[in-house]
Amino acid sequence: MAWKRYLTPEEHQRLGKALDAARATMPEAVNAFRLLLLTGCRLREIQRLKWEYVYPDERVIRLPDSKNGARTVQLGESAGDLLKNIPMIAGNPYVITGRKEGG
């Protein structure tokens, strides 16, 4: 049986502060990490997440091809707000963008 350890309130607060501090230099990584925490999605699902899969009015992400096939991810208020604040880049379909053009 796997042992699970959850963050204490103090650790959670320190993590939030560290992410806030990192936002200035690595906003894409911070957005990806927060989406991982808030959605329960797998890393690859967040890395390959396209805007066309995001339905903000319905507060869902519809992943066409996850590890076990298509699935719908319900978004809580925090995840929905985060997605609304991630800028869309013209010509780039991805929510989490890379440093390379089109990535």
- What CATH number is given to the structural domain containing 69? 1.10.443.10
Per-residue model confidence as pLDDT tens digits over 42-92: 999 999 999 999 998 899 999 998 778 899 999 999 999 999 999 999 999
- E strands present in the chain: 54-55, 60-66, 69-74
CA contacts within 13 A on the Cβ side of 18: 9
What is d(CA 40, CA 82) in angstroms, rounded to the nearest whole number? 14
Helix (H) or strand (E) run with residue 33 in it: helix 27-39
Closest CA to 51 of 81, 94, 87, 85: 94
Residue 63 CA: distances (Å) to CA of 4, 17, 33, 99: 27, 30, 18, 24
Domain range enclosing 24: 11-85
Given pLDDT bands bounded at 50, 70 and 90, which one contains residue 101?
low
For the chain, how many structural domains are there in total?
A: 1
pTM, to two decimals: 0.83
Report if residue 92 sits inside a domain.
Answer: no
Per-residue model confidence as pLDDT tens digits over 6-50: 888 999 899 999 999 999 999 999 999 999 999 999 999 999 999
Report if residue 1 sits inside a domain.
Answer: no
Report if residue 48 sits inside a domain.
Answer: yes
